[in-house]
Amino acid sequence: MDIDRFISGVNGFAYRCKIFTAFAYVIYGVMIVLLLAVLAVGHETAGSKSWFHIGSFGLQPAEFAKFATNLAVARYLSALDFDDKKMRSRIVPLIFIGIPMLLILLQNDTGSALVYLSFALVLYRQGMPGNILMIGVVAIALAIAALLFNKYWVIGTLVVIAAGMLLFIRRNRSNILKLAGIVVIAAAFVFTINYAVENVLQPHQKTRINVLLGKEVDLKGAGYNVNQSKIAIGSGGFWGKGFLKGTQTKFNFVPKQSTDFIFCTVGEEWGFVGSAIVLGLFIYLCIRLVIVAERQRSEFSRVYGYGVASILFFHVFVNIGMTIGLIPVIGIPLPFFSYGGSSLWAFTILLFIFIKQDSNRLQLV
Query: For position 311, what pLDDT does the model report?
Result: 95
Q: pTM, whole model, 2 decimals?
A: 0.82
User: Is residue 262 in a domain?
Assistant: no
Report which DSSP code applies to 363: G
User: Is residue 62 in a domain?
Assistant: no
Cβ-contact 194, 146 below 8 angstroms: yes
CA distance 71 to 20: 7
Q: Three-state SS string across 195-262, please?
A: HHHHHCCCHHHHHHHHHHCCCCCCCCCCCHHHHHHHHHHHHCCCCCCCCCCCHHHHCCCCCCCCCCCH
Estimate the crossing angle of helix 299-323 against helix 2-22, to 10 degrees: 40
User: Is residue 10 in a domain?
Assistant: no
In the chain, the number of structural domains is 1
User: Is residue 188 in a domain?
Assistant: yes
Torsion angle defined by CA atoms of residues 319, 324, 326 and 327, in that order, rounded to the nearest 10 degrees: 40
User: Is residue 166 in a domain?
Assistant: yes
User: Is residue 48 in a domain?
Assistant: no
Query: For position 8, what pLDDT does the model report?
Result: 46
The residue segments making up the domain with residue 155 are 129-200
CA distance 76 to 356: 20
Residue length, the chain? 365
Estimate the crossing angle of helix 130-148 against helix 151-165, to 10 degrees: 140
User: Is residue 185 in a domain?
Assistant: yes
Return the bridge partners of 58, or none.
53
- pLDDT (tens, 9 = 90+) of the chain, 365 residues, equals 455 554 444 444 444 447 888 899 999 999 999 999 998 887 777 667 788 887 777 788 999 999 999 999 999 988 877 776 777 777 888 899 999 999 998 888 888 888 999 998 888 888 777 677 777 778 888 888 888 777 778 888 888 888 888 777 777 777 788 888 888 888 888 888 888 878 777 777 777 777 767 676 666 666 787 888 888 888 888 988 888 787 777 777 777 777 888 898 899 999 999 999 999 999 999 999 999 999 888 889 999 999 999 999 999 999 999 888 888 778 789 999 988 778 899 999 999 999 988 887 766 44
Query: For position 2, what pLDDT does the model report?
Result: 52
Query: For position 10, what pLDDT does the model report?
Result: 40
User: Is residue 42 in a domain?
Assistant: no
